[in-house]
Structures are given as structure tokens and as C-alpha cells.
Amino acid sequence: MTANNALERSVEHRPCAHIEWCVGRGRIGTGAGRSTRSLALMSKTLYCWRCKMPIPMLEESEWERLAPYLTNAIEQIKRYREAHGVSIAEAKTAGYGREALALYFDITGFRETNPDALWHHRFALFGPPCHNCGKPLRTPQAKLCAECGAVRPNFSSSGLAEARRST
Ligand SMILES: [Zn+2]
Ligand SMILES: [Zn+2]
């Protein structure tokens, strides 16, 4: 079931449109000379290992705005199921997560189609970029890179905040 979901979503994501979006906002593929500082206030695009593509990740302040809509979406499903006695699948198609997706688009400019994916599109859940392959470590505490196997150099939890800020 998970594999099916991933497949469906990778199609819905339309990677080409997404890459254009990234370049348009100066996030990727534009080479040297870009100031990362000027982009610091915008949500950051990271490679998502679950979605297998670059995805705009929410900053904590943005996540705090979005989370209530996701929580609310689960409530919506529960209420809809209680009222209509239908399956989760049916309740989902009745508009689950629509507000959360709309807000995510407002914040990032990226059209996500699966509300469940928003739960993990949160910058704080990821680690700094791998020194070897450049993909973000899967957690801030990761001691090695799950993508390429490289061991994280000089890792200590006290250096964590600094490492994240320098990305
Ligand atoms: Zn993802
Ligand atoms: Zn790596």
C-alpha cells in the first residue's frame, strides 16, 4: 500500500514543474553567486527521502500555522465517518486536508496533493546536508547518511544548532 501511495504521489508531484519552481525561486541549479542569506526567511527546499524528490520544507513558524489544519483534518475524517458510516478512503475523498494543502501552497508555492505528506515536510525533522552526497540526513541526530552510508564527521549534539543554521 505504501509503495502504491509513493508511486501515485510521484506522478502527481510533476517533478518538472517543481524543478522550474525551485529554479525560479533561486533554490537549486543556479550555481555560484546566489546569496543564501536572502533566502533564509523562505521555506527551504530539501531532498525528501520519503518522496524521493526535493520538497519545500516548512520552518517551525510555518508549521505551527499549518499543523492545526492537519489535526483538524483528522477530526474532519472522524466526524464524517461517524455521520455517514463510511470507510476512511471514502471520508478522505470528501475533502480531507483541503485547507491544509491550500495553506501549504500559500506558504511554499508548491501544490502538494497528499495531506498525509505534509506531516513530514517540516524542516526541523531533517538533519544537515551529508558532507559526502549533499542529501539531508534523515534526522538531526543521525550519525550516518542513509542515502550513501557516509559517517557524519565531528558530530556532537552541542554542535547541532550551529550545523543546522549553516545549511
Ligand atoms: Zn516527503
Ligand atoms: Zn550521503
Please report whether residue 38 resides in a domain: yes
DSSP label of 58: B
Please report whether residue 84 resides in a domain: yes
What's the rounded Cα separation, in Å, for the pair 32 and 160? 26
* pLDDT tens, position by position, 95-117: 778 889 999 999 999 999 998 89
Torsion of CA 69, 71, 74, 79, to 10 degrees: -80
The region that residue 13 occupies, defined by phi over 0 for left and psi between -120 and 50 for alpha, beta otherwise, is alpha
Q: Nearest ligand to the C-alpha of residue 122?
A: 1
Which residues is 42 bridged to in the sheet? Answer: none
**C-alpha cell read off for 116:** 498525509
What distance in angstroms lies between residue 85's CA and the mean position of ligand 2's atoms? 47
Please report whether residue 57 resides in a domain: yes
What's the rounded Cα separation, in Å, for the pair 18 and 29? 12
| Vertex 88 angle, CA 6 and 48, to 5° | 25
Query: How many C-beta neighbours within 10 Å does residue 132 have?
Result: 15
* pLDDT tens, position by position, 113-166: 998 899 999 999 999 999 999 999 999 999 999 999 999 998 875 555 555 555
What distance in angstroms lies between residue 166's CA and the mean position of ligand 1's atoms? 22
Q: Which residue has the higher pLDDT, 115 or 93?
A: 115
Please report whether residue 153 resides in a domain: no
Least confident interval from 13-27, 74-88, 123-137? 13-27
What distance in angstroms lies between residue 121's CA and the mean position of ligand 1's atoms? 6
> pLDDT at residue 52 above 60?
yes
Residue 42: pLDDT band (50, 70, 90) is low
**Near ion ligand 1, which residues have CB within 5 Å?**
48, 50-51, 55
What's the rounded Cα separation, in Å, for the pair 1 and 89? 13
What distance in angstroms lies between residue 96's CA and the mean position of ligand 2's atoms? 36
Residue % of the chain over a pLDDT of 70: 67
Please report whether residue 167 resides in a domain: no
Please report whether residue 150 resides in a domain: no
Measured in whole angstroms, the distance separating CA 102 from the mean position of its chain's CA atoms is 15
**C-alpha cell read off for 57:** 520544507
Q: Nearest ligand to the C-alpha of residue 47?
A: 1
Please report whether residue 130 resides in a domain: no
Residue 93: pLDDT band (50, 70, 90) is confident
What is the pTM (predicted TM-score) of this model?
A: 0.62
Please report whether residue 141 resides in a domain: no
Report the domain count for the chain: 1
Q: Domain residues for 17?
A: 2-125
What's the rounded Cα separation, in Å, for the pair 137 and 146? 7
